Structure 1
Amino acid sequence: MTAHRIIALTFSAAAFAFAGAAHADNGLTREQVKAELRDAQRNGDLIDYETGKKPNEVNPSAYPRQVKVAPVATAPAAVQHTAIGDFEMDLLNQRSAALLQRAEQQRQFAGKR
Structure 2
Amino acid sequence: MHNEAMIAVVDNDESVRMALDSLLRSSGYTVRTYSGAHEFLGSDGPFITSCLICDIQMPQMDGIALYEELATRAIHIPVIFITGNPCAQRPPGNHARTPIAFFPKPFSTEKLLACIEAVLAKPH
From the two aligned structures, give the one with the greater helix fraction: 1
Question: Does the alignment reach a TM-score above 0.5?
Answer: no
Could you say which TM-score interval applies, normalised by the shorter chain?
under 0.3
From the two aligned structures, give the one with the greater strand fraction: 2
* Structure of greater relative contact order (alpha carbons < 8 Å, 6+ residues apart): 2
TM-score of the two chains, using structure 1 as the length reference = 0.16
TM-score of the two chains, using structure 2 as the length reference = 0.15
- Larger radius of gyration between Structure 1 and Structure 2: 1
